[in-house]
Amino acid sequence: MTLLQRAGVSVTQWTEKRNLTQEELVAHCQQYDALLLASDNKIDRPFLEQCRHLKVVSLLSVGYDKVDVAAANELGVPITNTPGVVSAATADTAFLLMLSVSRKAFYQHKRIIKGDWGFTEPTANLGMEVQGKTLGIWGLGNIGYVMAQRCISAFNMKVIYCNRGRNEAAEKELGAIRVSFEELLAQSDVLSVHTALTVETTGKFDHAAFGKMKPSAIFINTARGGIHKEKDLIAALEAGTIWGAGLDVTNPEPMAPGNPLLEMPTVAVLPHIGSATIETRNAMSVIAAKNIVAAMNDMALPNQVTSL
Ligand code: DGY
């Protein structure tokens, strides 16, 4: 806010505790030159067609799967995001989920709330350790790199990854080994998803994929809920095809309170808080504001996205 105001931008903030409908968003945008979007509204073709006058849609997120980027390019509405600054916080969330699942922490906490402290029988409440195990990363970019660093430092985990191209820095600095998707599924003890949601990645973790994973494997998704098929994940957990799952993203969001995943001992679910720290949200806000200031001054946009 300060950054925008100091740059002479007059700001109107939507303060109601609900997202605008698409129609409301379009209607509001008619009076403004730029939109800073912190909600789940879609920047789809109908929106873009009606808001072609916008100098920028500045997203308060690194992910931009809610944007029809091709339509934005075609209609000349620049889109910007907040890359780089979310990596540590999001990797921390993946790490938190990995440990929470491995020790059934969310489940044990819920038992205490229900007055079920339990009997201290030595083989009750057993989790599993991740020391020295294999971390598989699907989509090793900035966030996956930090997750790998954390897992190596804390637990001396071996890192394998599957990307379209090589990540030479991760190979050199972390000893990460590039493998095929099939090998990633077969070899990972913890499989953490850090890729964008695209046509290719949508529903990639389905019945067939879970079926190729180890029965002791933990699946972690802090990227986008659309990357795994929820029904298939539930079935895989119920059948013991995989051991556990940690999700910061679901499909749909919010997850319904009665979802069976919420009752499973080896599952931990968070409400999409990957980048929700004071430090990271501040850093994201500064980037989002700078993108707006640049657009208002007809300067090159620091973080324009042009393709998926
Ligand atoms: C991001 O930055 O993409 C986070 O998931 C918040 O939406």
C-beta separation of 160 from 188 below 8 A: yes
The alpha carbon of 68 and the centre of ligand 1 are apart by a number of angstroms equal to 16
pLDDT at 92: 98
Within the chain, all domains assigned CATH 3.40.50.720 are found at: 2-84+276-296, 87-269
To test the ligand 1 pocket, which listed residue (194, 221, 275, 303) has its Cβ within 8 A of the most ligand atoms?
275
Q: Is position 253 annotated as part of the catalytic site?
A: yes
Helix, strand, coil in percent for the chain, rounding step 5: 40, 15, 45
Give residue ranges with CB within 6 A of ligand 1. Answer: 61-63, 86, 274-275
Distances from the Cα of 255 to the Cα of 4, 37, 248, 259, 271, angstroms: 35, 22, 11, 7, 8
Distances from the Cα of 144 to the Cα of 38, 132, 161, 239, 258, angstroms: 24, 18, 9, 29, 31
Q: Is position 272 annotated as part of the catalytic site?
A: yes
| Identity at 200, one-letter amino acid code | E
C-beta separation of 136 from 191 below 8 A: yes
Question: Whole-angstrom Cα distance, residue 106 to residue 86?
Answer: 24
C-beta separation of 144 from 87 below 8 A: no
Q: Which of 265, 272, 293 is nearest to 100 (CA)?
A: 265
Task: Write down the CATH superfamily of domain 2-84+276-296.
Answer: NAD(P)-binding Rossmann-like Domain (3.40.50.720)
What residue owns the CA closest to ligand 1's atom 3? Answer: 63
Catalytic residue among 103, 194, 224, 228, which? 224
Map tokens 């071996």 to a residue: 158
Question: Whole-angstrom Cα distance, residue 189 to residue 105?
Answer: 18
Q: Which of 21, 4, 20 is nearest to 12 (CA)?
A: 4
What residue owns the CA closest to ligand 1's atom 2? Answer: 61
- Number of neighbours of residue 301 by Cβ within 10 angstroms: 17
The alpha carbon of 63 and the centre of ligand 1 are apart by a number of angstroms equal to 5
Token duo for residue 118: 């339990």
The alpha carbon of 199 and the centre of ligand 1 are apart by a number of angstroms equal to 18
C-beta separation of 78 from 109 below 8 A: no
Catalytic residue among 168, 253, 263, 279, which? 253
Fold of 87-269: Rossmann fold (3.40.50)
Q: Is position 194 annotated as part of the catalytic site?
A: no
What is the pLDDT tens value at each position of the chain, 308 positions in all? 999 999 999 999 999 988 899 999 999 999 999 999 999 999 999 999 999 999 999 999 999 999 999 999 999 999 999 999 999 999 999 999 999 999 999 999 999 999 998 777 889 889 999 999 999 999 999 999 999 999 999 999 999 999 999 999 999 999 999 999 999 999 999 999 999 999 999 999 999 999 999 999 999 999 999 999 999 999 999 999 999 999 999 999 999 999 999 999 999 999 999 999 999 999 999 999 999 999 999 999 999 998 86
Q: Which of 205, 151, 157, 215 is nearest to 181 (CA)?
A: 205
What residue owns the CA closest to ligand 1's atom 4? Answer: 61
Q: Which of 191, 203, 202 is nearest to 246 (CA)?
A: 191
The upper half-sphere exposure of residue 180, i.e. CA atoms within 13 Å in the direction of its Cβ, equals 5
What residue owns the CA closest to ligand 1's atom 1? Answer: 61
Q: Which of 188, 200, 10 is nearest to 98 (CA)?
A: 188
Strands 79-80 and 304-305: antiparallel
Q: Which of 120, 132, 133, 144 is nearest to 193 (CA)?
A: 144
Token duo for residue 25: 């968003």
Q: What residues pair up with 58 in beta bridges, in sequence order?
A: 36, 80
